[in-house]
Amino acid sequence: MRYIPNTDSIVEEMLGEIGVDSVRALLRPIPDSLILDKPLDLPSAMSESDIVKHMAKITSLAGIHLSFLGGGYYDHLIPAAVKHIIGRSEFYTAYTPYQPEISQGTLQAIYEFQTMICQLTGMELANASMYDGASALAEAAIMAVRISKKKEIILPENIHPEYRETVKTYCRFLDIVIKEIPVGSDGRIDVKVLKENISADTAAVAVQNPNFFGVVEGLEEISAVIKDAGALFIGVVVEPVSLGILKPPGDFGADIVVGEGQAFGNPMNFGGPGVGFFASRDKYMRQMPGRLIGQTVDKNGKRGYVLTLSTREQHIRREKATSNICSNQSLCALAAAVHLSLLGKGGLKKVALLNLRLADYAKEKLGSVKGCKLRFSSQIFNEFVVELPIPAEEFSRRLLLEKNIVGGLPLGRFFKGMEKSLLVTLTEKISKEDIDTLTESLNGLLNGGGGQ
């Protein structure tokens, strides 16, 4: 076996030196009744070339198609350099940096990631990463309850539905009340509804911006309502490219900002791995979940980095830890840091602006197709909801079958009454011509071709 250097004869030799005559002798502590008497029922070993053929065969259906999918994971351009950096085995084959002297590469890179997350979100500190945006939001809710000693979390319904589900799973047995509130007909948080629901019992309100419908929220007003009630403001950023052009939650007084960083450096990979991020204020430092990397010096006064404040963590505090998280998404955080470094200040702004312009153009084009209309009139970042004259699931099936286009995400599976709604997402991978193609196909399918 190519991954096991010790051949049978070497194993024999080693057993001799150990002083036993068989592997079974070493397994003596295992009761006989437990030892398997037949081989595992698994496919037999494949050669490397057979694996390559097998994988090519089973993945061939994925094909190349024009896609307008988003809704939490985004198909952005990833510079070629990212893959080469995270493909360096000094990075990807290393363990968690528990031995800092020989882990300075990971430690400094993630310290840079922490800094970039702070800069992007407008916050004071950030951790080394969480599993994903949804579980980061759940941890934020738990942290807010811990800080405020109150028990209620408000989640407007325009927060990603899978994020809300995740929060409910995490909080279910912690005696935390999750209050989901309906949103306005413009797709944004209805400030009146928020005021009616928020109270002195509210630990925190989470606000996703841009929200699940792609709509940009009015954070200033919302933040004021949250602060007035004495609750904590959790900002949620699921499409972080937006931070290149939108004022971050930190500028509006957010106490915690969480989100998904997949858009930076991490391919979609059917939903993971991406990278959850978690940022907060200095005053809440010791309430943070997850790993934190800090700067220090070595015995000669030379700058270096270590995992720090670990008395918050499970391996020290055990059942009293701020979270049970151990492994995080370090390599994905590295990918994000590399991608962000390549984009730089100017590039991030440029790419965000391009997303905005593409979405604006697409919104106008699709909104003017006969039979279609925009579900919400509000301003958006890079995705929007279009209302079709037929069920969106059926439309999507036909569009894929007839035109080889994935037109967007049908929202009926998430929201009652939105069976005809399609969430259409634009990134810099899409061109003006692609949008024209989608428009023509939409028109062709709905209106039998011809003009708009």
Partner 1 sequence: MRENVGARGLIFNEPLIFDISREGRDGASIPDGVGLPEKKIESLLPKGSLRDDIEGFPSLSEVDVVRHFTRLSQWNYGLDGGFYPLGSCTMKYNPKINEDMASLPALNNLHPYAPEGLAQGALRIMYELSDYLAEISGLAKVSLQPSAGAQGEFAGILIIKNYFESIGEKRHKIIVPDSAHGTNPASSALCGYQVIEVKSGSDGLIDPAEIEKHMDDDVAAIMLTNPNTLGLFESQILKITEIIHKKGGLVYMDGANLNALMGIVKPADMGVDIMHFNLHKTFSTPHGGGGPGSGPVGVTKKIAPFLPTPVIVENNGNYSFQYGNKDSIGRLRAFYGNFGVMVKAYVYIRSMGGDGLKKASETAVVNANYIKEKLKGIYHLPYDRECMHECVFSDKIQGENDVSTLDIAKAIIDRGFHPPTIYFPLIVHGAIMMEPTETEGKETLDSFIEALKDIAAKAKEDPGSLKASPEKPKVGRLDETQAARNPKLRWRAGQKDG
Q: Site residues for partner 1, window 213-242 (CB under 8 A)?
A: 216, 218-220
Buried b (16+ CB within 10 A) or exposed e, 102-127: ebbebbbbbbbbbebbbbbbbbebbb
Cα separation, 253 vs 14, whole angstroms:
64
CB 322, CB 313: distance < 8 Å: yes
User: Counting contacts by CB under 8 A, is residue 358 touching partner 1?
Assistant: yes
Residues from 299 through 328 that contact partner 1 (CB under 8 A): 299-300, 302-306, 308-311, 313-321, 323-328
User: Counting contacts by CB under 8 A, is residue 83 touching partner 1?
Assistant: yes
User: Counting contacts by CB under 8 A, is residue 452 touching partner 1?
Assistant: no
Residues 6+ apart with CB under 8 A from 389: 371, 372, 420, 446
Question: How many Cβ atoms sit within 10 Å of the Cβ of residue 316?
Answer: 10
User: Counting contacts by CB under 8 A, is residue 37 touching partner 1?
Assistant: no
User: Counting contacts by CB under 8 A, is residue 255 touching partner 1?
Assistant: no
| Sole residue written with tokens 């391996």 | 315
Stretch that binds partner 1, among 91-99, 146-154, 368-376, 383-391 (CB under 8 A): 91-99
CB 180, CB 174: distance < 8 Å: no
Q: Which of 66, 109, 263, 422 binds partner 1 (CB under 8 A)?
A: 109
Cα separation, 435 vs 363, whole angstroms:
10
User: Counting contacts by CB under 8 A, is residue 368 touching partner 1?
Assistant: no
User: Counting contacts by CB under 8 A, is residue 147 touching partner 1?
Assistant: no
Stretch that binds partner 1, among 143-151, 345-353, 383-391, 439-447 (CB under 8 A): 345-353
| Total chain residues near partner 1 (CB under 8 A) | 204
* Among candidate residues 279, 302, 277, the one with its CA nearest the CA of residue 100: 302
Cα separation, 428 vs 357, whole angstroms:
10
User: Counting contacts by CB under 8 A, is residue 149 touching partner 1?
Assistant: no
Stretch that binds partner 1, among 66-74, 197-205, 222-230, 383-391 (CB under 8 A): 66-74
The smaller minimum CB distance to partner 1, of residues 120 and 372, is found at 120
User: Counting contacts by CB under 8 A, is residue 294 touching partner 1?
Assistant: yes
Q: Which amino acid is at 129?
A: S
Residues from 156 through 175 that contact partner 1 (CB under 8 A): 160, 162-163, 165-166, 168-170, 172-175
**Cβ 397 to partner 1, closest distance in Å?**
7
Per-residue binding letters, 260-289, with partner 1 (x by CB under 8 A): x------xxxxxxx-----------x----
**Cβ 424 to partner 1, closest distance in Å?**
12
**Cβ 296 to partner 1, closest distance in Å?**
4
SS3 string, 331-389, reads HHHHHHHHHHHHHHHHHHHHHHHHHHHHHHHHHHHHHCCCCCEECCCCCECCEEEEECC
